[in-house]
């Protein structure tokens, strides 16, 4: 029976995704250049005590004569003049050119540090685009640093003042450079086995179906009134991947204790270049900057969560390399999803009717039988494994004598599969209630010229 899934199928239907795209290198966030560092004065040292004493006396005489006062006034005037000079030297056009050149280089380096040669290219670009305003490397560094400081002040003002938006003209562009670290911090703060308290509503794949995500919140309750745990695959396939993942990340930043967002196999650079998210970003923004920002952010998403130490939640399935939850805590999740190994298995594996471990027809991860899930649950004192990753026509499917459940939350997947969606409500006593729902009314979708690859075997 053919499925309506790309790299994941109806239960018992499998296929191999194309995952030949090269992985990207992960860079550390850029450091700030401090324009105020100054070399020490070589004439500060005064070895002769009598000379120091004489110098202090001379300084007192100068103060009495008003000389030092004039010097300080001159210094203050000079600082104000420097500020006015900076304003005069950097027109709005020049700042726009600088931010565009800096952002291009910053994203090209996967949000890594700009080095000497990089800054030279930025300065050359700014000078070329602004005919009458040639800029040096030092000027560009200082200006970017000052813009970062202003952005942080604006962000602090918005947070403390309860203001809806900033009127500073460069706020949105600086948000792309500096602001993403706020979302990354919110995701990175999650532990490797994120502890989640009940009651909580557990959700499966969304896949860019933004209107259906809105329907999910309508049925399950608004955040933060309802606690949510999403198990990955927010992008690809649907027409609104950008809007979908933006909403979920915004909720995570605003209500970090009320929503948990795990990583799915589609939250990767390789898969999103094939199944739609990359092309959507190009179509909507004209470049790959937004795609790069989000795929960098995906590296920080936790892989698993634990509800009241009883329900183990993840996107895919188990791994032969992982026997206990402590094994998950011991490896580094902040990376692109590898082609093999325990991290890959957690995002790609599927339960199977056959016992033991099997080679997955997907080309990544494994299949695991009831004996494997029972052994894992027993070793870790678990009652249930909740996962997503596979299309199921009723929205949920029990497996392995109700030790494993698959949840799928994208109704009428790909706008043509005809399946229902579901969410799992876990109450205070860890009781389970499934809520099924149909797709939201379609309003008309954008034209997509490039059709994403078919995924049937």
Q: Which residues are catalytic?
A: 266
Strand 366-368 to 350-351 pairing: parallel
- How far is it, in rounded angstroms, from Cα 209 to Cα 238? 5
Cβ partners under 8 Å of residue 309, min gap 6: 195, 381
DSSP letter for 408, please: B
Judge whether 272 and 299 are in contact, CB under 8 Å: no
Q: How many helices (H) and strands (E) does the chain have?
A: 15, 14
DSSP letter for 353, please: S
Judge whether 312 and 383 are in contact, CB under 8 Å: no
Instruction: Choose among 408, 431, 429: nearest CA to 418.
Output: 408
- How far is it, in rounded angstroms, from Cα 320 to Cα 318? 7
Instruction: Choose among 265, 261, 263: nearest CA to 338.
Output: 265
Judge whether 386 and 407 are in contact, CB under 8 Å: yes
Instruction: Choose among 204, 250, 198: nearest CA to 223.
Output: 250
- How far is it, in rounded angstroms, from Cα 264 to Cα 244? 14
Cβ partners under 8 Å of residue 206, min gap 6: 212, 213, 216, 230, 233, 234, 238, 244, 248, 409, 410
> How is residue 229 written in tokens?
């745990």
Cα 47-53-58 angle, rounded to 5 deg: 120
DSSP letter for 176, please: I
Q: What is the dihedral sign for C-alpha 412, 418, 419, 421?
A: positive
Judge whether 396 and 424 are in contact, CB under 8 Å: yes
Instruction: Choose among 122, 107, 10: nearest CA to 418.
Output: 10
Instruction: Choose among 169, 173, 175, 141: nearest CA to 155.
Output: 175
């Amino acid at each position: 029976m053919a499925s309506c899934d790309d790299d994941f199928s109806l239960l018992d239907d499998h296929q191999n995704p194309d995952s030949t795209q090269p992985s990207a290198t992960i860079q550390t966030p850029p450091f700030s250049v401090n324009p105020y560092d100054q070399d020490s004065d070589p004439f500060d040292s005064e070895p002769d005590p009598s000379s120091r004493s004489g110098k202090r006396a001379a300084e007192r005489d100068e103060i009495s004569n008003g000389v030092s006062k004039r010097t300080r006034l001159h210094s203050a005037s000079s600082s104000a003049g420097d500020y006015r000079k900076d304003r005069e030297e950097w027109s709005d056009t020049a700042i726009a050119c600088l931010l565009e050149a800096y952002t291009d280089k910053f994203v090209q380096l996967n949000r890594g540090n700009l080095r000497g040669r990089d800054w030279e290219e930025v300065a050359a670009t700014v000078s070329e685009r602004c005919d009458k305003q040639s800029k040096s490397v030092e000027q560009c560094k200082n200006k970017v640093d000052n813009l970062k400081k202003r952005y942080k002040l604006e962000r602090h003002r918005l947070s403390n003042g309860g203001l809806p938006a900033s009127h500073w003209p460069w706020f949105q562009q600086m948000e792309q450079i500096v602001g993403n670290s706020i979302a990354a911090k919110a995701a990175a703060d999650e532990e490797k086995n994120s502890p989640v308290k009940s009651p909580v509503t557990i959700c499966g794949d969304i896949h860019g179906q933004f209107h259906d995500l809105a329907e999910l919140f309508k049925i399950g309750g608004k955040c933060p009134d309802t606690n949510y745990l999403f198990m990955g695959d927010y992008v690809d396939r649907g027409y609104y991947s950008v809007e979908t993942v933006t909403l979920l990340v915004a909720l995570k930043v605003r209500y970090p204790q009320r929503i948990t967002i795990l990583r799915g196999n589609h939250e990767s650079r390789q898969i999103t270049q094939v199944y739609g998210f990359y092309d959507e970003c190009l179509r909507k923004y004209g470049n790959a900057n937004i795609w790069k920002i989000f795929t960098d952010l995906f590296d920080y998403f936790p892989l698993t969560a634990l509800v009241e130490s009883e329900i183990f939640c993840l996107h895919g399935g188990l791994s032969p390399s992982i026997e206990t939850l402590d094994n998950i805590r011991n490896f580094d999740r902040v990376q692109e999803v590898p082609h093999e190994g325990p991290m890959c298995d957690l995002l790609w594996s599927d339960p199977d009717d056959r016992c033991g471990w099997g080679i997955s027809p997907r080309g990544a991860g494994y299949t695991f039988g009831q004996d494997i899930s029972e052994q894992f649950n027993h070793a870790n004192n678990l009652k249930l494994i909740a996962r997503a990753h596979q299309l199921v026509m009723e929205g949920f499917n029990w497996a392995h004598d109700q030790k494993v459940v698959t949840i799928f939350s994208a109704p009428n997947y790909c706008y043509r599969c005809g399946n229902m969606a579901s969410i799992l409500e876990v109450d205070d006593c860890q009781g389970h209630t499934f809520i099924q729902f149909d797709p939201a009314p379609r309003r008309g979708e954008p034209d997509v010229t490039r059709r994403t690859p078919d995924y049937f075997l």
